[in-house]
Structure 1
């Protein structure tokens, strides 16, 4: 009996009836190189603070950044639920300086593998946070005009590009000037935009999943269709 040749990149998958329904990141993300953080290779970050989604995703890690003042209780809640590594926001806008450093230190103690400072973070805050913790400091960049050299000199370990429609251009510019700096970037709205971002030089892709309500809407639509089919099927049998 001749053995069938198995493709070199064939990956067996094991799941169960209760765990086969989860939020999948786009397959195109597999084309990026990834970044090794404490020995773990990470290619995909899921951008959410929804603990139900965090518990049910195949992403490599979580980027937990939200539009409110960072609070240790939120970080603790996310880390207590997550089965995958988490990097979390520690300010950079209204929250900075000593407060950001304290929140970052708490995040490290809770188990975060990195902290994210938002685009407005002063270089002094980056430096202050870097001096307090032993996990990577990730700086969000939203413009081509950002002085990346100053951010790196202040202590940034990883650049997180979130420039909307300009993301690909920003990534290209940073990669040209700094060939070896780790870059995380938003992948955009579709598969092609993800591939463009990777080709531009992004090592990791951030994926924004559908919201809980959007996912549940599809689930309820299916349940209604099943219920209708069951009702009409039973009545046809009676006739």
Structure 2
């Protein structure tokens, strides 16, 4: 008989260091997603952060670095230096508009970003100009069922990034009905159940928001104090 018919999960050896054992690990349920293969790399989990300490201490497949300020090349450079996994950089589209978005995207490509992310207000015209400028994936964020999914795709979006809060799974479901094979990244929510629902709805990859460095430090301080008692 050809092939392995053993359905039991394979044993995966794991190696950890004494000093690098404290990681932000992605929820295991994300491994159930199909993933998106980009330049030969299969990506299922993305951590949503610009904190370089978290970037260096997570087992996510990739980083999605979008932040609520005008994107700056020096920030992109810092993220690329810190990361040892692919980075998808935010290049504006909300506060930042026009040719600046295109210039920032080209700069991000030159610095080694695997893809660029634009915010929901970005016009289809800018998406089209981006498609004619960069050779890396353009990820367009959608936040509502009323967004023009077809227009985004026709303009040149390679991936849709669904970030609809509590409505995310439903938005993913609607996109998947219209576009059965189009790549979708989506926020998974705070629980295993919400992540699983989003995957079942049709998300290929999941964005996970980690606790902040301050929250992690707070937990450690509680432990340090208890050890002293």
Normalised-by-shorter TM-score class: over 0.9
* Deviation at residue 129 of structure 1 after TM alignment: 1.2
* Deviation at residue 96 of structure 1 after TM alignment: 2.0
1:10 aligns with 2:11: yes
* Deviation at residue 220 of structure 1 after TM alignment: 1.0
- Structure 1 equivalent of residue 94 of structure 2: 93
TM-score calculated relative to the size of structure 2: 0.96
Q: 5 Å matches for 1:153-172?
A: 153-172=154-173
- Structure 2 equivalent of residue 233 of structure 1: none
Equivalents in 1 of 2:174, 2:199: separation in Å?
A: 13
- Across the aligned residues of Structure 1 and Structure 2, the Cα RMSD in angstroms comes to 1.2
Unaligned runs of 5+ in 1: 229-239
- Structure 1 equivalent of residue 190 of structure 2: 189
* Deviation at residue 94 of structure 1 after TM alignment: 2.1
3-state secondary structure, aligned to 1:184: strand
Q: Return structure 1 stretches of 4+ with deviation > 2 angstroms.
A: 5-10
Query: Larger helix proportion, structure 1 or 2?
Result: 1
List per-residue Cα deviations over 1:168-210 (Å, max 9, x = no partner): 1100000000001000000011000000000000000000000
* Deviation at residue 131 of structure 1 after TM alignment: 1.1
User: Between Structure 1 and Structure 2, whose CA radius of gyration is higher?
Assistant: 1
TM-score calculated relative to the size of structure 1: 0.92
1:135 aligns with 2:129: no
- Structure 2 equivalent of residue 234 of structure 1: none
For this pair of structures, how many residues does the alignment match? 224
Equivalents in 2 of 1:97, 1:12: separation in Å?
A: 49
- Structure 2 equivalent of residue 28 of structure 1: 29
List per-residue Cα deviations over 1:86-118 (Å, max 9, x = no partner): 001001112122110100001001110000000
3-state secondary structure, aligned to 1:197: helix
3-state secondary structure, aligned to 1:226: helix
3-state secondary structure, aligned to 1:62: strand
Equivalents in 1 of 2:167, 2:8: separation in Å?
A: 37
3-state secondary structure, aligned to 1:181: coil
1:78 aligns with 2:100: no
